[in-house]
């Protein structure tokens, strides 16, 4: 099962933290292409949603994405 993250929310949180997509990828432990996919609203795994949310300092809540 996959989830599509809210790209506007992710981008906003990332910019509030003052980090790049590369920084987000490093903090989340994913590759840069995955962090770019998140902001393009491409499907990602639940694990990716969780680690990206943690890297952004938020809970992986429904407002952060929707299940496909």
Q: Tell me: the pLDDT tens digits for 37-53?
A: 999 999 999 999 999 99
CA distances from 17 to 11, 25, 68 (A): 10, 13, 28
Q: What is the pTM of this model?
A: 0.92
Question: d(Cα 8, Cα 66) in Å, to the nearest integer?
Answer: 13
Q: Where are the beta strands (DSSP E) in the chain?
A: 2-5, 44-45, 65-67
pLDDT of the residue at 54: 96
Q: 1.10.3090.10, 2.30.30.100, 2.60.40.10, 1.10.260.40: which CATH number matches 2-67?
A: 1.10.260.40
Extents of the domains making up the chain:
2-67
Question: pLDDT (tens digit, 9 = 90+) per residue, 5-37?
Answer: 999 999 999 999 999 999 999 999 999 999 999
**Which among 22, 2, 10, 23 has a CA at the least distance from the CA of 64?**
10
């Amino acid at each position: 099962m996959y989830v599509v993250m809210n790209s506007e929310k992710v981008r906003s949180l990332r910019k509030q933290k003052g980090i790049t997509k590369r920084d987000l990828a490093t903090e989340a432990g994913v590759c840069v292409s995955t962090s770019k996919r998140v902001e393009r609203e491409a499907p990602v795994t639940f694990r990716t949603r969780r680690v990206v949310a943690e890297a952004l300092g938020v809970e992986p809540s429904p407002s952060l994405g929707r299940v496909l």
